[in-house]
Amino acid sequence: AEGRDVEIRTERVETADGEPVEVAANIGTAAELEGAVAQGADAVGLFRTEFLFLDRETPPDEAEQLDTYVEALDAFPEGRVVVRTLDVGGDKPIPYIDAEEEENPFLGTRGIRRSLGPDAELFRTQLRALLRAGAEGEGDLAVMFPMVATVEEVEQSLDVIEDVRAELDNEDVDHEVPELGVMIETPAAVFMGEQLAERLDFFSIGTNDLTQYVMAASRQNEAVSHLHNPRDPAVLRAIDQAVDAAHAGDAWIGMCGEMAGDPELTELLLGLGLDELSMSAVTIPDVKANIVDIDTEGAREFAEQALAASTKDQVTQMLTDNT
Ligand code: PEP
Ligand code: MG
């Protein structure tokens, strides 16, 4: 599909046999909302809130965050906006928050680990802004936590949400508890998928990090980039397991890593059972164009073959033969 002129579809799409698939945009700032709508995004599947905290000396306060989240929700009055809570650490240091140098930052205090530890105050402020935005904005808010590895982290996060909800209640401030989910970025989250899904509404697979942790190959190191490949059957099997766990626990599951926006992989991803794909806005028209031609049964068979492969080269060959 790449390279050809594809039509921009602003309407939601379904597969040739009538299965709806949500196609959403990844954004980092409110400035990207307009482009996402213009490319035909049904929703925002990943709002990376780190960008609100970058290039400044102090964190944005509750009022400023509230404005930004409401702006995003108002841009998608009929859709969903999935906001990820602050994901600092690893490849995303924010100097005034994250001053401590760790020897191995990707295996250190990043994502939800910071929000439940040193950044607890920032986490509360962000959640207050989010619960308020859920009541004020037009679209449907969903909130997800990054880098989750354990059920305890989810339970602690849900406790903080409950605390913030009670606080807003006491203050008589309008608020609404959004849909709640986690990113699937660690092998531990895949293995504990059923227990996580029982406690949550949705998952979103972050394949950039999931690939790095499944393959033990840094997403930033050229020397191991041949291993950091989401076509590897090991990664596909992790995705398959996460999808089964989500659905067994009555949760929906999307993907917001870069893999989701590769038009070559759309059929494989639908075959694996993903309910939503979220990507940078420019690839949305190509992916929507692919979806309307896909037959779900055929996609499932194709995914089964890919899951049975022994190497990523075999998967790549199957993808080539399939186009
Ligand atoms: C991911 O890890 O795939 C992801 C979407 O999150 P980020 O790239 O922001 O780490
Ligand atoms: Mg990530």
**Ligand 1 nearest atom to the CA of residue 257, by list position:** 3
Calculate how far, in angstroms, residue 208's C-alpha sits from the geometric centre of ligand 1.
Answer: 5
Pocket-forming residues, ligand 1, beta carbon under 6 Å: 46, 48, 87, 185, 206-209, 256-257
Contacts with 46 (C-beta within 8 Å, 6 or more apart), sequence order: 24, 26, 27, 82, 84, 204, 256, 278
**Ligand 1 nearest atom to the CA of residue 204, by list position:** 5
With H, G, I as helix, E, B as strand and everything else as coil, classify residue 169: helix
DSSP line for 40-77: T-SEEEEEETHHHHSSSSS---HHHHHHHHHHHHHH-T
Across 17-34, average pLDDT: 98
Across 239-267, average pLDDT: 98
Q: What percent of the chain has pLDDT over 70?
A: 99
pLDDT, tens digit (0-9, with 9 covering 90-100), for 147-167: 999 999 999 999 999 999 999
Biggest CA-to-CA distance, the chain = 61
Across 184-210, average pLDDT: 98
Q: Answer yes or no: is pLDDT of 255 > 70.
A: yes
Q: Can you read off the two tokens belonging to residue 57?
A: 């000396």
Across 17-26, average pLDDT: 98
pLDDT, tens digit (0-9, with 9 covering 90-100), for 256-277: 999 999 999 999 999 999 999 9
Q: Answer yes or no: is pLDDT of 1 > 50.
A: no
pLDDT of residue 101: 83
Task: Compare 322 and 288 and report the one with higher pLDDT.
Answer: 288
With H, G, I as helix, E, B as strand and everything else as coil, classify residue 36: helix
12 is in an annotated binding site: no
Across 102-114, average pLDDT: 93
Q: State ipTM.
A: 0.99
For the chain, the distance separating the N- and C-terminal CA atoms, rounded to the nearest angstrom, is 9
Do residues 82 and 142 make contact, with C-beta atoms less than 8 angstroms apart?
yes
Q: Answer yes or no: is pLDDT of 3 > 80.
A: no
pLDDT, tens digit (0-9, with 9 covering 90-100), for 81-93: 999 999 998 777 7
Pairing of strands 179-184, 202-205: parallel
Q: Answer yes or no: is pLDDT of 98 > 90.
A: no
pLDDT band, residue 214 (cuts 50/70/90): very high
Calculate how far, in angstroms, residue 208's C-alpha sits from the geometric centre of ligand 2.
Answer: 6
How far lies 264's CA from each of 105, 231, 261, 308, in Å? 32, 11, 9, 19
Q: Answer yes or no: is pLDDT of 120 > 80.
A: yes
Do residues 246 and 203 make contact, with C-beta atoms less than 8 angstroms apart?
yes
Q: b vs e for 18-53, b when ≥16 Cβ sit within 10 Å of the residue's Cβ? A: eeebbbbbbbeebebbeebbebbbbbbbbbbbbbbb
Give dist(CA 259, CA 185) in Å, integer: 13
pLDDT, tens digit (0-9, with 9 covering 90-100), for 299-318: 999 999 999 999 999 999 99
pLDDT of residue 200: 98
Mean predicted lDDT score pLDDT of the chain: 96
pLDDT, tens digit (0-9, with 9 covering 90-100), for 35-69: 999 999 999 999 999 999 998 999 999 999 999 99
The catalytic residues are 256
**Ligand 1 nearest atom to the CA of residue 205, by list position:** 3
pLDDT of residue 4: 59
CB-based neighbours (< 5 A) of ligand 2, an ion: 206, 209
Q: Answer yes or no: is pLDDT of 232 > 70.
A: yes
